[in-house]
Amino acid sequence: MAKKFDFKKIGIRVGGSVAGGVVGRFADKPLANMNPKIRSIIKIGVGAILPELAPKSDFLGSVGAGLTGVGGADLFDTMVNKTVPVSGIGTDFDMALGATEDYDVNGIGEDENALSGIGEDETY
């Protein structure tokens, strides 16, 4: 017999996790002057404690999980990935893609005959 899904419960969990992730990203702004490792640990700690404040609330439990996830990803970024963050926020494109002066993009698309013959119906 197939199990029935409780879509309301699933929606509450997804919504809470997304809300926790968003809160985790918005928390970076007021805590910008703080050491990134400490800021990440605070997010993890608040995310872990939040479900204990209302143990019967699936939503707050999911918010805590989302906040803990963002804090964990940020902590990973600060400890392991020094040049390009995993999340991609604040990437230094010169470091990530190479120095931009190494690439000459002038003249791209100016040659009208570059693709001549493609799509033309010719008989051989």
Q: According to the model, what pLDDT value does residue 105 have?
A: 52
**Cα–Cα nearest to 64, from 39, 43, 34:** 43
Q: Is residue 50 part of a domain?
A: yes
Q: Is residue 122 part of a domain?
A: no
Task: Using the predicted structure, report yes or no on whether residue 103 has a pLDDT greater than 50.
Answer: no
Tokens 């700690």 belong to 45
Amino acid (1-letter code) at residue 42: I
**Cα–Cα nearest to 89, from 100, 104, 74:** 74
Tokens 């990803």 belong to 73
Overall number of domains in the chain? 1
**Cα–Cα nearest to 66, from 16, 113, 100, 9:** 16
**Which helix (H) or strand (E) covers residue 46, if one does?**
helix 36-53
**67 contacts 46 by C-beta, under 8 angstroms:** yes
Q: What is the pLDDT confidence band of residue 79, given thresholds at 50, 70 and 90?
A: confident
Task: Using the predicted structure, report yes or no on whether residue 32 has a pLDDT greater than 80.
Answer: yes
Q: Is residue 46 part of a domain?
A: yes
pLDDT digit string, tens, across residues 87-102: 555 544 444 444 444 4
4: Cβ contacts below 8 Å, ≥ 6 apart: none
Domain that residue 32 falls in: 7-102
Q: Is residue 121 part of a domain?
A: no
pLDDT digit string, tens, across residues 33-73: 888 899 999 999 999 999 899 888 889 999 999 999 999 99
**CA–CA distance, 16 with 65 (Å, rounded to integer):** 8
Q: Is residue 115 part of a domain?
A: no
Q: Is residue 93 part of a domain?
A: yes
